[in-house]
Amino acid sequence: MTAALSIQNLQKTYENGFQALKGISFEVQPGDFFALLGPNGAGKSTTIGIICSLVRKTAGSVSIFGIDIDSDFPAAKRLLGVVPQEFNFSQFEKVFDIVATQGGFYGMPRKQAEERTEKYLKQLGLWDKRATQARMLSGGMKRRLMIARALIHEPKLLILDEPTAGVDIELRRSMWAFLEEINALGTTIILTTHYLEEAESLCRNIAIIDKGAIVENTSIKSLLKTLNRETFILDCSEYL
């Protein structure tokens, strides 16, 4: 089976000489709900930046459903939706327009883009805010706005970079429920997080990244078994 995401020996050295990724490899299978867990500075956002071609890699390869991003990025991009860690939309644009305009980037007819915008804004509880400027939204609403925008072309792989950081527990639960629904409908989901609890309640498989290296790549079930061993708890306390 072709992996939804295959990352092989990915390396990144930033311009200042700092090696943020020391040759990481992992695969995510179609339909999976996968966590990339690690403390701040581990290299999660660097990895995602490379996948969506915002960060240039130093070495290694990335393919999305068998499409190498170096050989055909436009084709790979059509299968991929990304919710970045930082808000990256115009604060003065209206919620509806931010989502609908994104459809245009995929060559979607305006009518279809508007229908999907309505669908996803409703599902994410933002329909009442459609005519509001983005700057008026709460942090949790802005995050949901970026999720709606990432779904407009109905990607097969959705990657979210710390989607619930700074979101209160109640909202976090409703966001989790929404992501589970999307996953149940067949979308492969990868999220980065530094909450083990989040990975545990949502995900089936996990990679743990630390200082630019993958230190674990297993199912959540077997990770939790290992975590019961006292030594491992001590070693991994920073992830808890």
Which residues bind to Mg ion, rule: CB under 5 A?
A: 44-45, 85
Say which DSSP state 4 is in. S
Q: Does 44 bind ligand ADP (CB under 6 A)?
A: yes
Of 129, 159, 165, 161, nearest to 145 by C-alpha is: 129
Kindly tell me the sign of the dihedral angle through the C-alpha atoms of 198, 202, 206, 207: negative
Residue at 61: amino acid letter = S
Shortest spacing between CB 45 and Mg ion, in angstroms: 3
What tokens were used for 206? 């996990």
- Residues constituting the chain: 240
Shortest spacing between CB 57 and ligand ADP, in angstroms: 12
CA 132 to chain centroid: 25
- Looking at 43, 84, 155, 163, which residue binds ligand ADP (CB under 6 A)? 43
Cα–Cα dist 98/42, whole Å: 31
Q: Does 155 bind ligand ADP (CB under 6 A)?
A: no
Shortest spacing between CB 12 and ligand ADP, in angstroms: 8
User: Parallel, antiparallel, or unpaired for β 59-64 and 5-13?
Assistant: antiparallel
Q: Does 231 bind ligand ADP (CB under 6 A)?
A: no
Quick one: which segment of 27-35, 41-49, 56-64, 90-98 binds ligand ADP (CB under 6 A)? Answer: 41-49
Nearer to ligand ADP, 44 or 172 (CB): 44
Can you give the binding site for ligand ADP, defined by CB under 6 A?
A: 14, 16, 18, 20, 38, 40-46
